[in-house]
Structure 1
Amino acid sequence: MVEFRERLGLTALIDIHTHFMPKPVMDKVWAYFDAAGPLTGREWPIRYRMEEQSRLEHLRAFGVSRFTSMLYPHKPEMAAWLNQWAADFAARTPDCLHTATFYPEVSAPGYVTAALEAGARVFKSHVQVGDYDPNDPLLEPVWGLLADSGTPIVIHCGSGPAPGRFTGPDRIARLLARHPRLALVIAHMGMPEYAEFLDLADRYPNVCLDTTMAFTDFSESQIPFPRSEVPRLRDLQDRILFGSDFPNIPYSYLDALEALERFDLGDDWVRAVAHHNAAVLFGIS
């Protein structure tokens, strides 16, 4: 990792898609991957399965100066508890961008407001695991709050690795038509609907995409990024952000970084994606 950064002249990396969760929740996530659940459908050995402090030390040793604690509920009355844990985690982990989440429920506007007032800087929405429609009327005030605050939302809404009932670009297009100022960050480059989510980024200036798992050998073997769309990656250089899915990746962190160079888009592109774009989005000096 040091050689990667030195070659690009980067003193640090910013990873906007890393997972830190309460231990019982993380244990269940890992058990799901171990079982090759229906959303994965393939062997998925967790490369960085270790206790929390060791995971933090690994990220910092990789040269990551800022990261997130992506967490998400799969049922009602779970998000507020996760947000409290995430607030505590951010308070004791100053290099973590304070992360929060939500679920379509009557209480959502209240706890989202509380999270914003407590300093949340990024939200996570997982349409696939949460199994909810982003256009659920219960979420309408939440989207309004987040649009007004300009707070980024990393949203897993593509249909990979397996489609959910509410995944896909059409539902996000409907959401953005009502809330065009939303600062959505489309997780995983929107795989496999890469082109359609790039279209949304073309149409809405606050829409970004993260590289989580995209371009890696692991993903290219089953959900390859279409070569015809590669020039658009350069066109949208300032709105693509590095994400890794650490620790829940079945390959090395260096593999995730080197995947940024797969399409020979140039050092300026890699520097923008690996650090500069996130620094601008989150106001990191």
Structure 2
Amino acid sequence: MTGLVANGRRWFHEVNDQWPGFGVSIEIEKILHEEQSKYQKIVFFKSKTFGTVLTLDDIVQCTERDEFSYQEMISLIPLNSHPNPQNVLVVGGGDGGVAREVVKHPAVKRVVVCEIDNRVIELSRKYLPNMAKGYDDPRVEINVGDGLEYMKEHENEFDVIITDSSDPIGPATVLFQKQYYELMYRVLKPEGIICSQGECLWLDMGIIREVFSFCQSIYPVVDYAFTTIPSYVGGQIGFILCSKNKNTKFSEPLRRMTDAEVEKCQLNYYNSDIHSAAFVLPQFAKKALYGIKKSVNSNHM
């Protein structure tokens, strides 16, 4: 695996061409598992401060310490923006974290997880059981295979589609293309919503702008939110949200959770206030995505 040794200590070092000249390092205590699957290089290691870490093709996917900030936000922002999210499709999400959060919504009746690499599911059950426990809910169905092929046979079926993808490298590249978002549109019901992993504002604005732009040609409502997560390069990750319902206001959740509900659901990052705040963008991002100023209550401009 990508790494370096400093002062006698072994470190995982994430660097790639997507963000030249910049990276993130996590000290390794022990390599738990390492293999090359049919699709990608999979590594689990025990870290000094972030607990167990999963990397795919030498890119951090999640760590025990901060995974909740990503899993909760990518799941509950779209679910709480939909009037009745009964049927949910998760593309990717092999570690089980999104499924774990999705089943916390009281309206959800069915969750289909399409993960192309079964080894990610199997190994996450062993090394990240607190995330993979999402698979234990009887409402969750696992479909091992290509999510795009699955969707071609399930048009007008889902209320919410969540794309929990890695970066646009290797098997995840297609999930950042216009054809994928057009396919999701056909799979959604009339009031359907999608939420996709939307990269880092600080490092990936070119990719974000491209996806955001073609989404606006497909969906009547497109918006962008973000969360903080220290183990990802840049310390931040975003979400591209689209709705077929022209009246959707993503920054105003239809389901507002009380403090008691947040505690009952064992949430550590998400609440209704941070749901709305996630759409307040720094000025450079507002200008890049919307051209002119955007208020927290706007859809898109």
What TM-score, normalized to structure 1?
A: 0.38
Bigger Rg, structure 1 or 2? 2
Higher normalized strand content (fraction of residues): 2
Higher normalized helix content (fraction of residues): 1
Structure with bigger RCO (C-alpha 8 Å, 6+ apart): 1
